[in-house]
Structure 1
Amino acid sequence: MERYLPKMYKSITEIYKYIGEEKENEVIKEQYEIIDGISVDFGIMQKTRKAYVIKCEFTWDDIGTFAALSRFLSNYRGNNISGNVYLEGSENCSVFGDKKLIIGFGVKDLVVVDAGDVILVMDKSKDQEIKYLLNGLKDQKELEKFL
């Protein structure tokens, strides 16, 4: 990483310094804005000639989608939730709450994310298409401040 993704390496090193400290979340948000959105596969593995594979057994989940991330949330009445959430008559939803209370009533197959100044509500089946939504938002200058 230091060789092929030096900016990412620097940002991750900076984050590491603040793990468990008072400014941890602030530093993570600050550094995350700097990091290029490239995976280790593309940024490092496809470039290096010095990679090794070690056989091992462990559970793996690529947390690159809301569906995958949902598997790590608490189960609540057949839904996956985190934060301040109350669901009634709802099923198969993934709700990522924050400070505000999110109430769902009679909804099904939704992803709801409270990201502070943005609330995302989407059908679970659109999970793989979120990047297209974000690309469309980038073209809307009046909404740029929310990205």
Structure 2
Amino acid sequence: MPNSIYALILAGGSGERFWPLSRRARPKQLLRLVADKTLLEETLARLEGFVSPERILILTNSEQENAVRKLLGNFRKENIVAEPAKRDTAAAVALGTGWVASRDHAAIMAVLPADHVIANRTAFQETLALAAEAAEETSGLVTIGIKPSWACPGFGYIEQGKPVHLRKHPDDDSIHRVLRFREKPNPDLAESFLRRGNFRWNAGMFVWSVPTVLREFNRYAPELADFISQVRAPENFEKALRERFSKMPRISFDYAIMEKADRVFVVEASFDWDDIGSWRGVANYFEKDKQGNAANRSITALDSSNNIVFEEDGTTIALLGVHDLIVVRTPDALLICHRHEAERIKDLIGKIPPELQ
């Protein structure tokens, strides 16, 4: 594994599907959904012993900055940076690239979302190490792909090509050229992807060297490349962040770079992965009674089945004669909806008073 590896943690997402537990100032990555730690804390814990804390940059936004700093009270204050405006992942990666380049212009860097559930830390670090070696040897952009367990229409997909064998791992078939990225498919197309066997879920985790990603920014996103050249000078970082970031194009890194680049590789994850994108996903981690009711705490249920219940304030929840509902109780809000409407919770946010959003 390369000696100099940095990590950029993207921690500025909104997680609107988890309202009312999630809010603008307390998004999904700051919630304790499936463990005693928040998803952001779990993300940091997975890097322990693999990336030293001074080489980790956490990017959040101005609405969430205070909550992140309070949560991570012992983390290096200067390694938490708040984006002054929402500009999607291309600008965030550009900012992080400049930060890393100012410290080591030849470093390997990993880009990791802050809101995933990954069970096996050792397997995660082994996959990252392999991806880092692939990035160094191929001078390419490397993404980590998840082998699909079912035909999910809610994820983007990566179409794999021929395997690539590294010098140190000549018998390892887990690295492939990427033929193309595929948008979220309809259910029939997702079934086709699953049958064909050479598709992986796109989990939004990347590894590359600073020179490689700079090459691609210069080729496909010169405006962002110019921004990187400004923020990589330590004395200009704060000024460029304040004055230039909000002027950057609002586009994802996938669209800006990954789907255009011609040297892209995928490493298959050797760990279990879940992005828990809705309350239905979280329910998989709750205890269930014989009627399929899933709850984070003890509930009372009579003639009720397949409900999902989450409460955080000690309120007693009792269900009578109801089925397939989501019930989420916080000190100041209550959500009740059909479990099959879980994906539409984000559509409800705009109708809720601003102070509760």
TM-score tier by shorter-chain length is 0.5 to 0.7
Distance 1:144 1:73 in 2: 30
* 2:129 equivalent in structure 1: none
Distance 2:271 2:330 in 1: 31
Asked if 1:63 is matched to 2:264, the reply is no
2:105 maps to which residue?
Answer: none
Q: Which has the higher strand share?
A: 2
Q: Percent identity?
A: 20
Distance 1:54 1:85, change over 3 A: same
Indicate if the aligned counterparts of 1:113 and 1:120 stay in contact, CA closer than 8 A.
yes
Alignment of structure 1 residues 36-47 onto 2, 5 Å: 40=113, 41=204
Q: TM-score, normalised by structure 1?
A: 0.66
Shift of 1:55: 2.2
Q: What one-letter code is carried by the residue in structure 2 that aligns with 1:120?
A: L
Q: What is the Cα deviation at residue 17 of structure 1?
A: 3.3
Could you say which structure has the greater relative contact order, defined with CA pairs below 8 angstroms and 6 or more residues apart? 2
Structure 1 residues without counterparts, runs of 5 or longer:
20-33, 138-142
Please say if residues 109 and 123 of structure 1, whose CA atoms lie closer than 8 Å, have aligned partners that are also in contact: yes
Matches within 5 A, 1:121-132: 121-132=336-347
Q: Is the 8 A contact 1:112 1:122 kept in 2?
A: yes
State how far apart, in whole Å, the 2-side matches of 1:108 and 1:54 are: 41
Q: How many residues align?
A: 127
SS in 2 for 1:54: strand
1:146 aligns to 2:146 (yes or no): no
Task: Summarize the Cα distance change of 1:9–1:146 in structure 2 as closer, same or farther, 3 Å threshold.
Answer: closer
C-alpha contact 1:93 1:108 (8 A) present in aligned 2? yes
Measure, in 2, the Cα distance between the counterparts of 1:2 and 1:60: 17
Aligned to 2:300: 86
Match of residue 120 from structure 1: 335
Residue 136 of structure 1: how far off its partner (Å): 2.2
Q: CA deviation at 1:62?
A: 1.7
TM-score by length of 2: 0.30
Amino acid at match of 1:124: R
Aligned to 1:16: 72
Q: CA deviation at 1:96?
A: 0.5
- Encode CA deviations 1:84-140: one digit per residue, 9 max, x unaligned: 421111101000022100100111000000122101000011111111111222xxx
Which residues of structure 2 form unaligned runs of 5+?
1-7, 13-57, 76-83, 90-112, 114-203, 205-250, 259-263
* Structure 1 residues 119 and 9, CA gap change in structure 2 (3 angstroms): closer
- Is the Cα contact below 8 Å between 1:84 and 1:97 reproduced in 2? no
SS in 1 for 2:301: strand
